[in-house]
Amino acid sequence: IIVLCVSGMRAETARYSVPEEAERGSFVANIAKDLGLTGVELLARQARLVPEGEKLYFQLNQHTGDLVVREQMDREELCGQSEPCLVRFEVLLESPLQSFRAEVRLTDINDHAPLFLNKEIVLKIPESAMPGTRFLLESAHDPDVGNNSLQNYSISSNEYFHVYIQQRNDGRRYAELVLDRALDREQQAEVAFSITAVDGGAPPRSGTALIHVLVLDTNDNIPVFSQTLYKVSVMENSPQNTIVSVVTASDLDAGTNGEIVYSIFQNSEENLQTFKINPKTGQIRLKKPLDYEETKTYEIDVQATDGGGLSAHCKVEVQVKDVNDNAPEVIITSLTSTLSEAAPPNTVVALFNVRDRDSGDNGRTTCELTGEQPFRITLLAADAYSLVTSETLDREQVEEYNVTVRASDEGSPALSASKTLLVRLLDVNDNAPTFTQAIYTMVMSENEPAGRSLGRLSATDLDAGENARVRYALVLPRTGTLAAASFVSVDAESGTVRNLRPLDYEKVPAFEVTVRAADGGSPPLSAQAVLRVIVRDENDNAPVLLHPAPDSSAAGELVPRWAPSGYLVAKVVAVDADAGQNAWLSYELAKATEPGLFRVGLHSGEVRTARAVTERDGARQRLIVLVRDRGQPPRSATATLAVALVDDFSDAFHQLGHDPSSGQQPQVAEEEMLTTYLIASLCCVSALFLLSVLVLMASTLCKTRARAELPPPSPSCYADGDFISDGVAVGSMGTLSPAYRYETCLTSGSGRSEFQFLRPILP
């Protein structure tokens, strides 16, 4: 067993030999050793054999690397007379994908003996034949080759003949019978002896036939061919009965001795099956179509025999001309049917061979890909190719490729064949999910019960399988409050947003959270979007009175009897914690002692006299002002005002103590006690104020003596500032109008010691 070379990927061919008819399991070679691999590496790389033909005659032990015979082989059956007889295959290795060519030569064993087609050979020789005349004998057939083929002929002892061995151009030997002495029919009409064909095997094998020579009367002229060698050529696609050649021979004899019959000498069974000859005309025709790929040359021995039994021979050499009748074959030896989209350029996808049984230009092939695809073909060795990627792949653009490999020969006309390979791309998580919107705005009503669906998030991922499975979640802030994230939840699978608890618009009118969509890849990719939830206001807050204070039974207001129409009596101030239409307030006079005396501003809440006050009007008036919002249904509140009509403000306290509409009489003791407290308080405040003014003036005079005498002080008014109710400052926000102000004024020229209530400062 000879290993010539194994190096690189398809760079050389590993050559081995094994005798034909070797038993199953017979050792041929150790592939692992020749490839420089261990048995473990051979097993890990899933080494396997790929035959060139349809049948695999050898087997590879992946554990030991031994190449053994899988099935007995008959060299004569596989290769006939061709030499050498080679069985070719490829050794394929995975991870990385590699291919190595190998061929095993079947050495011939002497398993066939020479065999004569006819066990009895009859020769008719005229008695006038001269010594030295040669007679062609039928050849024995031995399918073995080399030394095991037919090597020699011998004949049994006789008085008239010996055998002479000659060799054809193809190396096959044939025998001629040589006449040693003249025949005499009258002495011996028949001569019989045996011929033995022997091969060169060890031990040699032989075959025997009986030669029967019939001695004929004298026919002194033998047929003569016009040519001893005819050379013709025939196209391999020639149909049956095509004339190959015409041989002619002549005989100088007359009568039956000059009549010639042509025949094909039985020196080859294949010739007899392929050609036939017209015995009268000498036309040689085809019995079946020729195939250049099987046999390129035929040698036909034609015999011309006259009526007297004399014969002559010539050779017809038929050269079969190749025709481009075989299309190339694309033979896939290894294919990776699934390929990662992340595979880099030059990744091997498949290994294949291109074979054309024709020769010359008809057998010379080229290989190409049809269509624009990210693959290319690389030549590895003669007629051996690999299909590799030419650029990066993207499964999201193309999920699978039908790669068509077309092989064409250079014949005229050219023949071609195609093979289509299906390559599917495996997904890689290279695409992050994408939200359909950057900002999702959802609306919920305040006081909405927990668990209500607010909407649905939607994100898509261009990947496939688990890499495209999107799950949703809220993104909790790293710092700061987590309140917003506790208001809603997101279903991980569907992206449905639900509220976790009822919300109060007045506390949380809107909020934003960040949501994330992550795929199921490893590692996962994600995207973020903003979820903005707007709380829709509901009319769940009634108006709240700031003035008059809701805890007081009735607010007292003084109106002089000389007040004209439109005189500002008071202003009802209210706020509503709702928003929009639910916070729009309107005021109306619900009830009054004198319905026609007062009116209320619809939007301002100002209580004014509707006409001039007269003497006939009662000194005490009671007003109920209704404050209503515009919600559905509307909510309201009422304010009660007690108005005293006075001629002089000194009577104000006496008149405020009795409400004529109440039907009750005032309690004198309580009124006097209240009046006493008020007067005492007023005196104390006035005294402290005057003392402060005197101290301030004295200090100023001491510091600025040069300053001119100051003019008499004017009434000093001090603004109490913005209206305050229940500790809540009401400015320009909400439903309270711009600052409603009062002033406390003390006059130096008045002889009275009382508070003076001035008209409010209007905006």
Identify which has the larger pLDDT, 121 or 671. 121
CA dist list (Å): 617 to 600, 645, 646 = 19, 8, 11
Q: Are residues 470 and 574 in the same domain?
A: no
Q: Are residues 243 and 182 in the same domain?
A: yes
- Dig out the tokens for 743 from the structure: 């002033």
Does 690 have pLDDT greater than 80?
Answer: yes
Q: Are residues 629 and 683 in the same domain?
A: no
Confidence category of residue 8, pLDDT binned at 50, 70, 90: very low
What percent of the chain has pLDDT above 90?
40
- Dig out the tokens for 522 from the structure: 């490893």
pLDDT for residue 754: 40
Q: Is residue 554 part of a domain?
A: yes
Do residues 360 and 322 lie in contact, with contact meaning Cβ atoms separated by under 8 Å?
yes
Q: Rounded mean pLDDT of 148-175?
A: 89
- Dig out the tokens for 681 from the structure: 């308080």
Of 167-171, 445-449, 757-761, where does the model show the most confidence?
445-449
Beta-bridged to residue 299, according to DSSP, are: 317
Q: Are residues 292 and 410 in the same domain?
A: no
Min mean pLDDT across 22-26, 574-578, 634-638, 658-662 is at 658-662
Confidence category of residue 534, pLDDT binned at 50, 70, 90: very high
Does 747 have pLDDT greater than 80?
Answer: no
Q: Rounded mean pLDDT of 286-293?
A: 90
Confidence category of residue 649, pLDDT binned at 50, 70, 90: low
Q: Are residues 461 and 580 in the same domain?
A: no
pLDDT for residue 160: 92
- Domain boundary residue, one of 485, 506, 536: 536
Q: Rounded mean pLDDT of 583-587?
A: 91
Q: Is residue 567 part of a domain?
A: yes
Does 760 have pLDDT greater than 90?
Answer: no
Do residues 592 and 678 lie in contact, with contact meaning Cβ atoms separated by under 8 Å?
no
Average pLDDT, the chain: 83
**C-alpha R_g of the chain:** 64
Q: Rounded mean pLDDT of 368-397?
A: 90
**Which residue's entry shows tokens 């989209």?**
341
pLDDT for residue 270: 85
CA dist list (Å): 532 to 439, 489, 498, 515, 612 = 7, 13, 13, 10, 57
pLDDT for 224-257, tens place per residue?
999 999 999 999 889 999 999 999 999 887 778 8
pLDDT for residue 699: 79
Of 143-157, 515-529, 572-586, where does the model show the most confidence?
515-529
Q: Is residue 613 part of a domain?
A: yes
What lies within 8 Å, CB to CB, of 436 at 6+ separation is 458, 459, 460
Confidence category of residue 679, pLDDT binned at 50, 70, 90: confident
Do residues 624 and 591 lie in contact, with contact meaning Cβ atoms separated by under 8 Å?
yes
**Which residue's entry shows tokens 């029919």?**
185
What lies within 8 Å, CB to CB, of 518 at 6+ separation is 433, 470, 471, 473, 524, 525, 526
Q: Is residue 393 part of a domain?
A: yes
- Dig out the tokens for 66 from the structure: 């031994």
Does 668 have pLDDT greater than 50?
Answer: no
- Taking residue 319's Cβ as centre, other Cβ atoms within 10 Å add up to 12
- Domain boundary residue, one of 426, 451, 476: 426
What's the N-to-C CA distance of the chain in angstroms?
120
Tell me if residue 393 falls in helix, strand or coil.
coil
Confidence category of residue 334, pLDDT binned at 50, 70, 90: confident
Question: Per this entry, what is the length of the chain?
Answer: 763
| C-alpha–C-alpha distance, residues 730 and 749, integer Å | 36
Q: Are residues 143 and 275 in the same domain?
A: yes
pLDDT for residue 728: 31
Identify which has the larger pLDDT, 112 or 1. 112
- Dig out the tokens for 642 from the structure: 């007690």
pLDDT for 180-197, tens place per residue?
999 887 788 899 999 999
**Pairing, β 229-235 against β 311-321:** parallel
| C-alpha–C-alpha distance, residues 524 and 602, integer Å | 63
**Pairing, β 439-445 against β 526-536:** parallel
Q: Are residues 212 and 89 in the same domain?
A: no
Q: Are residues 371 and 307 in the same domain?
A: no
What residue type is 652 in one-letter code? A
Q: Is residue 472 part of a domain?
A: yes
pLDDT for 693-718, tens place per residue?
888 888 778 766 544 444 443 333 33
pLDDT for residue 671: 53
Q: Are residues 263 and 147 in the same domain?
A: yes
Q: Is residue 276 part of a domain?
A: yes
CATH of residue 448's domain is 2.60.40.60
Q: Phi/psi zone of residue 309: left (φ > 0), alpha (ψ -120 to 50 degrees), beta?
A: left
pLDDT for 605-645, tens place per residue?
999 999 998 888 888 999 999 999 998 889 999 999 999 99
Q: Are residues 223 and 176 in the same domain?
A: yes
| C-alpha–C-alpha distance, residues 418 and 186, integer Å | 75
- Dig out the tokens for 568 from the structure: 């500002």
pLDDT for residue 705: 56
Min mean pLDDT across 73-82, 340-349, 535-544 is at 73-82
pLDDT for residue 704: 63
**Pairing, β 375-381 against β 297-306:** unpaired
Q: Rounded mean pLDDT of 676-697?
A: 84
Q: Are residues 683 and 701 in the same domain?
A: yes
Q: Is residue 714 part of a domain?
A: no
Q: Rounded mean pLDDT of 289-313?
A: 89
- Dig out the tokens for 407 from the structure: 């092989």
pLDDT for residue 351: 92
- Domain boundary residue, one of 401, 426, 451: 426
Q: Rounded mean pLDDT of 551-579?
A: 85
What percent of the chain has pLDDT above 70?
86
Does 663 have pLDDT greater than 50?
Answer: no
Q: Rounded mean pLDDT of 430-445?
A: 93
pLDDT for residue 548: 87
pLDDT for residue 730: 32
Burial of 387 per CB tally in 10 Å (0-12, 13-18, 19+): buried
Instruction: Provide the number of structural domains found in the chain.
Output: 6
What lies within 8 Å, CB to CB, of 492 at 6+ separation is 471, 472, 473
Kindly state the DSSP code that residue 367 receives in the 8-state scheme.
Answer: E
Choose among 211, 217, 222: nearest CA to 304.
222
Min mean pLDDT across 6-20, 97-111, 537-551, 556-570 is at 6-20
Q: Rounded mean pLDDT of 23-47?
A: 86
Q: Rounded mean pLDDT of 404-419?
A: 90
Q: Are residues 646 and 682 in the same domain?
A: no
pLDDT for residue 5: 33
Q: Is residue 262 part of a domain?
A: yes
Half-sphere exposure for 472 (CA within 13 Å, toward CB): 24
Does 130 have pLDDT greater than 70?
Answer: yes
pTM summary value: 0.53
Task: Give residue 686's domain range.
Answer: 667-706
